[in-house]
């Protein structure tokens, strides 16, 4: 057992289990809430807008996986050496890969790194780590959040491009106000005493500054005027395993994306996949519900339609069937 683990008090040490480093674990996911609060038993982290990942280091080296278990080593080679050198021991850590611009994580700027087979190293990335799940042959997930973060900070060597995700105690409302002034996406509030669970949980909560979430691409329309590629994307979410139509997204695209994504859409054109709320009989190209996009919007209507939606980016780190309407639980 490492010195950091030996230094735990006896009640916490009893919650540490000797276990071989796993090949994979599901990440813990946060639940969106609009009931923001201050609480001395919670911590508050900056919500980063990037690609969630899990890091596995053992005798075979380092593996970086997306949340849907895609290996990312080839996309982010500059992270591998830093993660190898971060600790001599084996470990599993949780984090987010981001591109920072003027102190703000920019998901759109990360898109070329996420979707290119040849990494463009002129686009620098950082990996913010915020949790430690295994260390030196021991499972840590039953330890409290605050303890796991202390172990993460003390056990790994954080040198660029690796960064430790700072947090604040108690003052969630003031920190959220600060986050929104800085144009951050929001905060993640975490129960400081909670264990790590490999599922969505109310022990981690999303405090958002604006409305945005993932949607499944269901179809598209033809461009008009000088527009290239396509006119708008028709998007939806799953509701009880049925795909519900949520509206169309026609802004936020550049010409390069309009042209390249049209080629992708043409390859998956299919019958209408929508089960609920299908739009009228206008000229729509339907596609297989495989592609996932992130969209910002002002609000939901009572009919489950989006007001003023705008495209943020394409996501390849989330399965389409996992996309549901986010909202307070």
> Among all residues, which ones are annotated catalytic?
47
Strand, helix or coil for residue 12? helix
User: DSSP states of 73-91 as a string?
Assistant: TTT-HHHHHHHHHT-SS-E
Q: Are 156 and 2 in contact (CB under 8 A)?
A: no
Whose structure tokens read 């949980």?
Answer: 201
Q: Are 21 and 137 in contact (CB under 8 A)?
A: yes
Q: Report the relative pairing of strands 200-208 and 29-32 from DSSP bridges.
A: parallel
Task: Tell me 269's DSSP state.
Answer: B
Q: Are 159 and 82 in contact (CB under 8 A)?
A: yes
Residue 138's contacts (CB-CB under 8 Å, 6 or more residues apart) are 1, 2, 5, 16, 17, 18, 19
Distance of CA 52 to the CA centre of its chain: 4
């Amino acid at each position: 057992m490492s010195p950091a683990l030996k230094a735990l008090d006896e009640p916490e040490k009893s919650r540490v289990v000797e276990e071989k480093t796993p090949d994979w674990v599901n990440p813990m996911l946060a639940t969106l809430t609009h009931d923001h609060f201050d609480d001395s038993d919670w911590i508050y982290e900056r919500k980063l807008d990037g690609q969630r990942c899990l890091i596995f280091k053992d005798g075979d080296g380092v593996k970086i996986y997306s949340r849907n278990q895609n290996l990312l080593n080839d996309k982010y080679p500059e992270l591998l050496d830093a993660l190898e050198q971060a600790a001599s021991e084996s470990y599993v850590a949780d984090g987010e890969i981001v591109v920072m611009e003027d102190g703000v994580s920019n998901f759109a700027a990360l898109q070329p790194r996420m979707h290119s087979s040849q990494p463009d190293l002129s686009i620098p990335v950082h990996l913010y780590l915020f949790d430690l799940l295994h260390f030196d042959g021991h499972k840590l997930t039953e330890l409290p959040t605050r303890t796991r973060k202390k172990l993460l900070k003390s056990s790994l060597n954080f040198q660029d491009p690796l960064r430790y995700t700072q947090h604040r105690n108690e003052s969630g409302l003031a920190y959220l106000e600060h986050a929104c002034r800085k144009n951050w996406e929001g905060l993640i509030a975490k129960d400081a005493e909670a264990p790590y669970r490999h599922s969505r949980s109310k022990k981690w909560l999303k405090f958002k500054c604006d409305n945005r979430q993932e949607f499944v691409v269901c179809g598209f329309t033809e461009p008009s005027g000088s527009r290239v590629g396509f006119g708008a994307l028709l998007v939806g979410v799953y509701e009880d395993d049925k795909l519900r139509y949520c509206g169309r997204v026609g802004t936020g695209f550049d010409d390069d994306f309009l042209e390249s994504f049209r080629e992708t859409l043409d390859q998956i054109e299919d019958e209408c996949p929508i089960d609920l709320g299908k739009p009228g009989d206008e000229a729509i190209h339907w596609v297989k519900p495989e592609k996932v996009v992130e969209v910002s919007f002002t609000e939901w209507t009572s009919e489950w339609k989006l007001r003023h939606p705008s495209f943020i980016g394409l996501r390849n780190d989330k399965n389409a069937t996992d996309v549901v309407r986010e909202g307070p639980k």
